[in-house]
Amino acid sequence: MKTQCHCGQVTIKLPGPPTKLNRCSCSICRRYGALWAYYVPGHITIFGSTDTYVWGDRMITFHRCQHCGVLTHWLDIDSEQTRCGINMRNIELSELEGVPEYDGHKP
């Protein structure tokens, strides 16, 4: 399974489909319109160059394609962490049929 930005210059190869999707409504994810699936960083492969954005508590870097600007993923700044977020809006929605969604940022 793979995701890719709009222009195709950033592709992320995934080990398999997600088990659930996070429709996070925090202040930045809501603005990005992201739909996150979480993977172990060592289990994904990222092809292409990205620009990054870090905000707030400076714990994660948001990555976007340098060419088309589409948000592709986030990585934890602390390399000891065991998950990263992949923006599943960059995959055909039919490939996500039946995968449950939740809002992991609701109070």
CA distance 44 to 1: 10
CA atoms within 13 A on the CB side of 87: 22
Instruction: Express as a percent the part of the chain with pLDDT over 70.
Output: 98
The alpha carbons of the chain give a radius of gyration, in whole angstroms, of: 13
Average pLDDT, the chain: 94
**Residue 106's pLDDT band (cuts 50, 70, 90):** low
Q: Return the closest-CA partner of residue 38 out of 5, 83, 78.
A: 83
Q: Where are the domains of the chain?
A: 2-102
pTM over the 0.75 mark: yes
Q: CATH says 2-102 is which class?
A: mainly beta
Tell me the pLDDT tens digit for each residue of 31-48. Answer: 999 999 999 999 999 999
Tell me the pLDDT tens digit for each residue of 7-66. Answer: 999 999 999 999 999 999 999 999 999 999 999 999 999 999 999 999 888 899 999 999
Residue with the larger pLDDT of the pair 104 and 77: 77
Judge whether 101 and 35 are in contact, CB under 8 Å.
Answer: yes
